Amino acid sequence: MNKPQDPGWTARLPVVGQDQIKAARQAPTPPPPAQPEAPLSKGQELRLYLKGAGEWGRIHLRRWAHLLHGASAGTLAVGPVSFLLVAGALGTALTLTTLYSTSYAVIVDGREVGVVADQSVVDQAIRTVESRGSELLGYQYQVEGNIDYSFALTLKSDLSREQDIRDYFYSQLNEVSDQLRAFQVTVNGRVVGVVKDETELEAMLDSIKAEYVTDSTVDADFVEELSISPVYAVDDLMTVNDMEEALKANTTGETTYTVVKGDTYNGIAYRNDMSLSDLMALNPDANINRLMVGDVLNVKEIIPTLSVQTTEHVTYTEPIQCPVEEVADSSMYKGDSKILTQGEEGEARVEADITYINGRERERDVTGTTTLREPTTTVKAVGTKEKPKTASKGYFNWPTSSRRINSYFGGRNLWGRYDYHSGLDIHATYGEGIKAADGGTVTRAGWHNSYGYLVVIKHDNGIETYYAHNSSLVVSVGEKVYQGQVIARAGSTGNSSGVHCHFEVRVRGSAVNPLNYLR
């Protein structure tokens, strides 16, 4: 297409089309405007400037400055009123030249698309778009449309940038061929990739959300900041399936786990796809020899690149615990109690908004509770009698002076084959005193197969503790012992590979991890 160059003196015409430009260039150069016979008034000269008289107006602005300078130097007789008029006009002109710029409204096919200070801005934008379009399309691309310019006086802040003009012509390029446009997916500012079909992309994103939507879901959205933007000239396009795999790809984060009864460090690590060393690295303050119910551990969490947060409004029932009334009983030891009358739990209907991330509950906001059935009271007798020294305290101390563990509870490789270890092998020196972990009654004291010399203590809560491989015993069956009392001497009798104390904790006859009970 024809792109007009600077029309020179014709820029003062309201609209300059290409035909007019051609005619103007072929016509002989007109003489400059004749100077008026009578000097113009100052108001007339200012109006000429405001009407966009171009360079001629700026020449007269300099004349005003010359007049003012002459008046101040005493070379020209100017009265006070004239001086003020000259100064005011000059100030107005200076303000206009500071804030405003002579400019050209860019008109394409009768529609104004921007305002530029120089027509070369448009020329450069067109060259850029045509070059890029030719590269993308594989043939010589030209911007279409009839471009005209209209002279204007415009605030400098309102002038269009070349990028604005270029974007307009790029929109024409997009209309020429939709095949040039693709859609870039960005997650938290990181570009994941580019796909061709926006409709398929949106459907795939909806399907990711749908995996976590239930009948109770009231809201579903992505956790991360997801943006989709059109792009051009992409070398590597992804299929929508590839994009879905990339968005579902796992990254590693951290979450917490609360220890429950029966847990071991090995078991927690295994369930969270971690090694024991990985688990301990995330918990530098944890003691490998001690794990208590209620401990909170950091564990690895698998997180997809794009996570889904859903909110469900649910209604469910939950029990209302019985209030407890305590009655003193001097026949029982302090710390002991028994139920005299068992109350019945009540029931409540609960309404709540539950927030999930990737299907895992993260927050529960109870919005309303209605009591359906009131609970009845439980009456409990509470002991007031002082306990004897041999009474159980309800917790276990370590049976040796050392807390170094040679072999842990659970599965292990022993002499080249799998073996289930029912307790802890705790380091000890030969002849060292082995102490009762808590007060209780000795129920076994003697040789017992692979245990060698064994002591078993039954505690007031029914839990039993085992102390095996001793070199000698210092208690007998039926004897009452207190917490910390020496009950045997360390050795290596029975099926033992060296001096140590094999320590077991049994609840209702089944071995459990002693680390969950030792203090």
Can you tell me the distance from the alpha carbon of 79 to that of 374, in angstroms, rounded to the nearest whole number?
102
Angle 80-99/55-73 helices, nearest 10 degrees? Answer: 140
Can you tell me the distance from the alpha carbon of 486 to that of 470, in angstroms, rounded to the nearest whole number?
12
User: Pick the residue with more confidence: 195 or 40?
Assistant: 195
| pLDDT tier, 181 (very low <50, low <70, confident <90, very high otherwise) | confident
Region of 249 (left: φ > 0; alpha: ψ -120 to 50; beta: rest) is beta
Mean pLDDT over 319-339 rounds to 93
User: Pick the residue with more confidence: 478 or 237?
Assistant: 478
Can you tell me the distance from the alpha carbon of 431 to that of 493, in angstroms, rounded to the nearest whole number?
12
User: Which 3 state secondary structure label does DSSP give 283?
Assistant: coil
Mean pLDDT over 74-89 rounds to 53
Token pair 């008026």 in the structure block, residue:
36
Can you tell me the distance from the alpha carbon of 306 to that of 186, in angstroms, rounded to the nearest whole number?
10
> What are the DSSP calls for 30-71, one per residue?
PPPPPPPSSPPPHHHHHHHHHTT-THHHHHHHHHHHHHHHHH
pLDDT score recorded for residue 236: 81
In 87-237, the DSSP E strands lie at 100-108, 111-116, 147-155, 181-187, 190-195, 217-222, 226-232
pLDDT score recorded for residue 95: 61
pLDDT score recorded for residue 96: 59
pLDDT score recorded for residue 273: 81
User: Pick the residue with more confidence: 4 or 88?
Assistant: 88
Mean pLDDT over 17-26 rounds to 46
Q: Which residues contact 171 (CB under 8 A, 6 or more apart)?
A: none
pLDDT score recorded for residue 158: 86
pLDDT score recorded for residue 102: 84
Share of the chain above pLDDT 90, in %: 50
The per-residue pLDDT for range 92-143, each reduced to its tens digit, is 556 656 778 888 999 999 999 899 999 999 999 999 988 888 877 767 888 8
The per-residue pLDDT for range 270-305, each reduced to its tens digit, is 888 888 888 998 899 888 878 888 899 998 877 889
Tokens linked to 490: 């360390």
The per-residue pLDDT for range 155-173, each reduced to its tens digit, is 888 888 888 888 888 877 7
pLDDT score recorded for residue 168: 86
The per-residue pLDDT for range 188-227, each reduced to its tens digit, is 999 999 998 999 999 999 999 999 999 999 999 999 999 9
Radius of gyration of the chain (CA): 46
Q: Kindly tell me if the per-residue pLDDT of 258 is higher than 80.
A: yes
- Global pTM reads 0.45
User: Pick the residue with more confidence: 466 or 27?
Assistant: 466
User: Pick the residue with more confidence: 21 or 488?
Assistant: 488
The per-residue pLDDT for range 396-448, each reduced to its tens digit, is 999 999 889 988 998 766 666 677 889 999 999 999 999 999 999 999 999 99
The per-residue pLDDT for range 42-75, each reduced to its tens digit, is 434 433 444 443 443 444 444 444 444 444 444 4
pLDDT score recorded for residue 346: 97
Among residues 351, 342, 326, the alpha carbon closest in space to that of 375 is found at: 342
Q: Kindly tell me if the per-residue pLDDT of 25 is higher than 90.
A: no
Share of the chain above pLDDT 70, in %: 78
Q: CB–CB of 122/168 below 8 Å?
A: no
pLDDT score recorded for residue 322: 96
pLDDT score recorded for residue 234: 63
Question: Parallel, antiparallel, or unpaired: how do β-strands 486-490 and 417-421 relate?
Answer: unpaired
pLDDT score recorded for residue 82: 57
Farthest-apart Cα atoms in the chain, separation = 139
Can you tell me the distance from the alpha carbon of 92 to that of 220, in angstroms, rounded to the nearest whole number?
60
Mean pLDDT over 375-382 rounds to 97
pLDDT score recorded for residue 514: 93
Can you tell me the distance from the alpha carbon of 247 to that of 290, in angstroms, rounded to the nearest whole number?
40
137 vs 128, 166, 234, 237, CA distance in Å?
A: 14, 18, 13, 17
Can you tell me the distance from the alpha carbon of 350 to that of 370, in angstroms, rounded to the nearest whole number?
6
Question: Parallel, antiparallel, or unpaired: how do β-strands 378-385 and 324-333 relate?
Answer: parallel
pLDDT score recorded for residue 22: 46
pLDDT score recorded for residue 122: 92
Q: Kindly tell me if the per-residue pLDDT of 247 is higher than 70.
A: yes
* Mean pLDDT (the chain, rounded): 82
Tokens linked to 96: 């206009």
pLDDT score recorded for residue 353: 96
